[in-house]
Structure formats: structure tokens, C-alpha cells
């Protein structure tokens, strides 16, 4: 049974809204190969899996999937497209199984699960850059170290 898992943590006092994490996420999940220098930031298919919220007064809050101990999104998913991985504790999405009901979107208490803007036929959420052995690209891209990964105990 899983005793610890890696999670993304945020220090909103350090975040200056630069969106380096957003660009890194877009680059990590882009459909076509290339570098960050040819990434089309206006292409709706290149969408980040997190959000940065501004309070309008120069304070920013990055919002990432919490990969909750008991994820409401997984409980609400009728098709089984969202599952909590037993070995990592991360909530992963299987687009092929998704019924596009968006119950997961409505049930996420953090507002992080969202429909994709390009087609509205799938959801987007942080996958912890599961295919990258170095971990989440957003963390590595943050110049202020406002986001980081930490090992935490789980129930």
C-alpha cells in the first residue's frame, strides 16, 4: 500500500505570475515535436494543465491538481477515465474512456479539472508529467522556486 507520494506545493508569496510554468506545461504536452521557441502560445491545442489566478493586485496563485487522497473527480467519473494510480497516488486520465460528461469538472473542489478549449471533447488536468523521469516540467521552469515537489505521507 502507498505510504508516501510526490505532490506539487506552492508558495504564492514567491509567484510573480511570469507563467514560465505554463509555457513549460504547454511544451511538455504539445502534440507536435519541437522546442519551446516554436511553440504556438495562441494555438488552443497547446493548453496548460494548470491555471494561474490573479487577484488583480499583483498577487498570483498557481492552481495545480492536488492528486487528492480521496479525489472527488475520480468518484464522479462514470466511465472510469479518471483513476488514482496505486503506485504513485497520482490521478491519471484516460482520454479513450472519457464520456465527456464533465462530472469531474463539476466535482473538483479546486477548479483544476477543465474541458479542453480546442474541442471541448476531453478534460485537461495535471498528469505530473508522468512520462518525464525528471518530474513535472513546471517545477523545473519556475525561476522563483514558487512551486516544488515534496514527498508526503498519505493515509
Q: For residue 18, give every residue at least 6 positions away whose Cβ sits within 8 Å of its Cβ, in sequence order, or none.
A: 143, 144
HSE-CB of 53 using CA atoms within 13 angstroms: 9
Give CA–CA dist 105/46, Å, rounded. 19
Q: What domains, with CATH codes, occur in the chain?
A: 4-146 (3.30.70.20)
Question: Which pLDDT score is estimated for 1?
Answer: 59
Residue 87 CB burial class (10 angstroms; 0-12, 13-18, ≥19):
exposed
Cα 20 from Cα 60, distance rounded (Å): 13
**For the segment 103-127, what is each residue's pLDDT rounded down to a tens digit?**
999 999 999 999 999 999 999 999 9
Mean pLDDT of 74-81: 97
Q: How many helices (H) and strands (E) does the chain have?
A: 4, 8
Residue 20's pLDDT band (boundaries 50, 70, 90)?
A: very high
Amino acid at each position: 500500500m502507498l505510504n508516501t507520494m510526490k505532490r506539487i506545493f506552492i508558495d504564492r508569496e514567491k509567484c510573480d505570475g511570469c507563467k514560465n510554468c505554463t509555457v513549460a506545461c504547454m511544451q511538455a504536452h504539445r502534440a507536435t515535436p519541437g522546442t519551446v521557441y516554436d511553440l504556438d502560445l495562441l494555438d488552443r491545442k497547446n493548453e496548460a494543465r494548470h491555471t494561474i489566478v490573479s487577484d488583480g493586485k499583483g498577487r498570483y496563485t498557481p492552481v495545480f491538481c492536488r492528486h487528492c487522497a480521496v479525489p472527488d473527480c475520480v468518484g464522479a467519473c462514470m466511465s472510469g477515465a479518471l483513476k488514482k494510480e496505486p503506485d504513485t497516488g497520482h490521478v491519471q486520465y484516460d482520454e479513450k474512456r472519457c464520456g465527456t460528461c464533465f462530472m469531474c469538472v463539476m466535482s473538483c473542489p479546486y477548479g483544476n479539472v477543465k474541458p479542453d478549449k480546442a474541442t471541448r471533447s476531453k478534460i485537461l488536468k495535471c498528469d505530473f508529467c508522468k512520462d518525464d523521469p525528471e518530474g513535472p516540467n513546471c517545477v523545473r521552469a519556475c525561476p522563483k522556486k514558487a512551486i516544488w515537489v515534496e514527498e508526503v505521507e498519505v493515509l
